[in-house]
């Protein structure tokens, strides 16, 4: 309302710099599965098509940081040799942090592929022509 009243563009990001994500095709929201359920479904979809990939976790244990900060949930290589990363979000959407957006840009600039995926319908939309 304020943006329309003042004639400025609305801000679509939060205070921490993250932006809202939405699927480009209709994806079922599976609240009981959450993000990990989407990640598991996407991983199985890729494996069924014999794509070399693995899941990635990042965190901290006993004060030690492990994994690649801000990287995607699934990493792998396409048949043509290009690397890819997939950031999984719940079907209705989620937030992509500023660090994740910077990582996305770095992957694309390096010649890789990076997508934010909300479910199998979106996964098929992006990857059907790549695998």
The domain that contains 52 carries what CATH number?
Answer: 3.40.1350.10
Which residue has better confidence, 17 or 98? 98
What is the extent of the structural domain holding 39?
13-127
Q: From 45, 49, 25, select the one nearest 37 (Cα to Cα).
A: 45
Q: What is the pLDDT of residue 100?
A: 92
**Domain assignment present for 7:** no
Q: From 60, 58, 74, select the one nearest 123 (Cα to Cα).
A: 74
Q: What is the pLDDT of residues 52-64, one digit of tens each?
A: 999 988 777 787 7
**Domain assignment present for 6:** no
**Domain assignment present for 4:** no
Q: What is the pLDDT of residue 66?
A: 78
Total count of domains within the chain: 1
pTM score of the predicted model: 0.79
**Domain assignment present for 112:** yes
- DSSP reduced 3-state for 69: coil
């Amino acid at each position: 309302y304020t943006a329309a009243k003042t004639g400025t563009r609305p801000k679509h990001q939060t205070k921490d710099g993250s932006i809202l994500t939405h699927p480009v095709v209709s994806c079922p929201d599976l609240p009981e599965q959450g993000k990990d359920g989407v990640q598991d479904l996407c991983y199985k979809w890729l494996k069924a098509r014999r794509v070399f990939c693995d899941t990635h976790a990042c965190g901290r244990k006993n004060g030690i940081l492990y994994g690649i900060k801000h990287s995607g949930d699934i990493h792998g290589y396409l048949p043509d040799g290009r690397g890819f990363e997939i950031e999984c979000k719940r079907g209705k959407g989620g937030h992509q942090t500023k660090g994740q957006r910077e990582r996305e840009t770095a992957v694309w600039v390096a010649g890789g592929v990076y997508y934010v995926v909300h479910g199998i319908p979106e996964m098929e939309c992006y990857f059907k022509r790549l695998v």
